[in-house]
Structure 1
Amino acid sequence: MRFLIPLLLAATAADAHYTFSALIDGGTSTGDWVAVRKTVNWQNNGPVTDVTSDDIRCFELSPGAAAAQTVNVTAGGTIAFQANPDIYHPGPLAFYMAKAPSGQTAATFDGSGDVWFKIYEEQPNFGGQALTWSSNGMKTPSVTIPKCLADGDYLLRIEHLGLHVAQSAGGAQFYISCGQVTVSGGGSGSPTELVAFPGAYKATDPGILININYPVPTSYTNPGPAVFTC
């Protein structure tokens, strides 16, 4: 029995974590790790907790190893990620994009440098016994690609930030994946507030170092840049 208890605890911890393994376009899934770069946590579902680590960018198992496919998406349309098993922890969902520079594709681009812009961030629900988020329990979180975004190849980064034990530095849990997309039908939009990963966040940012339970916050500041809008 003394050996069984640690195994059960480990299994419970793994079940409480999650990955984002596939893109879903028009209701059709690409399949796991086909258009999404395989992450370090593809087997154990564990999070990134160090915002200064290169893992905070795309959490790639083999940095520089592209996914096999790139998905075509239309500017103004929506695309989703598959969560496995679902978004379990309370905390905000965010989406970022980074345009592949001239001469590169979504498959060859590593996402380094001040290239990332935010296209969505989630605010919590206030007024309860703790901060809560509508993304909690989601299986296929989706985002709308900005209608004015310039055509081209992009990395699409999903980030869910688990804040259930974020009251001490290093307690926040980041669940991250990067998909490969080609945007068409867009415009001339060019985001100006660009950030790098790592670099965009500090462990002491008020949206990362926070007790969501007591005293219950009455406001929340999402980490990172403002959301790009057309």
Structure 2
Amino acid sequence: MRFDTLASVATLIVSASAHSTFQQLWINGVDAGSSCLRTAANNNPIGTSGGDLACNVHSRSPNVCTIKPGDKVTVEMHQQPGQRSCANEGIGGNHFGPVLVYMASVSDATTADARSAGWFKVSELGLVSRNPQYFGSQVLNDNCGHYTFTVPDIAPGNYLIRAEVIALHVASGSGGAQHYPACFQVNVAGSGTARPPTVRFPGAYSNSDPGILINIYQSLSTYRVPGPTPYGYVAPTIANTAYPRTPTWNTALQPAAVPMTTPAPGATGIAGGA
């Protein structure tokens, strides 16, 4: 299916109500809520070369969530502060584009400057189907704003997790891509030794990158996700058939409350992942 017929409409429908932020975290199905979130000041996007591209304009948290290699960590996105309802899309307004997750090793997650941190990508979901065209952000929406990744086997210590959606609905002109990043403060336990190569934000992306300067309303046979190759993860190939819309996250168990207490290390909770 071609999206060409929607292009002129999509370029006009760019409202603040469609903006969004990552707000909650889950660890092995345990709801950590916003306990270790660096809370974004608002739900507005950041430009590709914006000085706050690393973690958005944010406040720091006094808390650090504990994770370990092999854990299933889920980031959760919603349009308005404190929102958790599955009645609304995680990111609306036809904000189609990839979902990406990075990590950065830091000496103290509660005080680290995200702009000077070195980031490595651990997961991504770009164009998942070309027939019809379907992006990672749409899969995220199918799953009530949830996206799950596996913590790679990395050296222990404090880290920041950076979750991001890049909305491409008006990206056919330079500077049109909209970035929606947010960060969580964690400590990685275990005995890993890997320290993957890193990039900086801003700097990792360019306004001319093929995955950032792109008309997604044309028929796409491929899509290059911006940034480095993920460490310890191989993204799925682009399907030639329709991507399944059935949620893999258990939306029936979606809570309304937002915990502000970090879960006990090693706790397990509901099954699910996106």
Which TM bucket (shorter chain)?
A: 0.7 to 0.9
Conserved 8 A contact 2:109-2:158? yes
State the partner residue of 2:177.
172
Cα distance between partner residues in 2 of 1:60 and 1:87: 18
Give the superposition deviation at 1:132: 3.1
Conserved 8 A contact 1:74-1:186? no
State the partner residue of 2:70.
76
Matched, 1:140 2:141: no
Over the matched positions of the two proteins, sequence identity in percent amounts to 35
Give the superposition deviation at 1:38: 1.4
Q: Which runs of 4+ in 1 moved over 6 A?
A: none
Give the superposition deviation at 1:136: 4.1
TM-score normalised by structure 1 residue count: 0.82
Q: Which runs of 5+ in 2 are unaligned?
A: 1-13, 80-89, 234-274
- Equivalent residues in 2 for 1:139-158 (5 A)? 139-146=145-152, 148-158=153-163
Conserved 8 A contact 2:97-2:135? yes
Matched, 1:185 2:190: yes
- Equivalent residues in 2 for 1:8-157 (5 A)? 13-32=15-34, 34-41=35-42, 45-48=43-46, 50-61=47-58, 65-85=59-79, 86-88=90-92, 89-100=95-106, 104-113=107-116, 115-128=118-131, 130-133=133-136, 134-137=138-141, 138=143, 139-146=145-152, 148-157=153-162
State the partner residue of 1:8.
none
Higher relative CO (Cα under 8 Å, sequence separation at least 6) belongs to 2
Cα distance between partner residues in 2 of 1:136 and 1:142: 9
State the partner residue of 2:84.
none
Name the CA shift for 1:191/1:160 in 2 (closer, same or farther; >3 Å).
Answer: same
Q: Which amino acid aligns with 2:40?
A: T
Give the superposition deviation at 1:131: 4.7
Matched, 1:211 2:208: no
Cα distance between partner residues in 1 of 2:130 and 2:32: 39
State the partner residue of 1:200.
204
Cα distance between partner residues in 1 of 2:155 and 2:126: 27
Cα distance between partner residues in 2 of 1:109 and 1:81: 20
Equivalenced residue count is 205
Cα distance between partner residues in 2 of 1:108 and 1:18: 25
Instruction: Calculate the aligned-residue CA RMSD, in Å.
Output: 2.0
Cα distance between partner residues in 2 of 1:51 and 1:162: 11
Name the CA shift for 1:23/1:228 in 2 (closer, same or farther; >3 Å).
Answer: same
Task: Give CA-to-partner distance per residue, 1:139-194, whole Å, 9 cap, x none.
Answer: 22121100x211110000001111111111121111110000001124111202x1
TM-score normalised by structure 2 residue count: 0.69
For residue 135 of structure 1, give the secondary structure of its aligned residue in structure 2: helix
Cα distance between partner residues in 2 of 1:51 and 1:118: 17
Name the CA shift for 1:226/1:180 in 2 (closer, same or farther; >3 Å).
Answer: same
Cα distance between partner residues in 2 of 1:144 and 1:23: 13
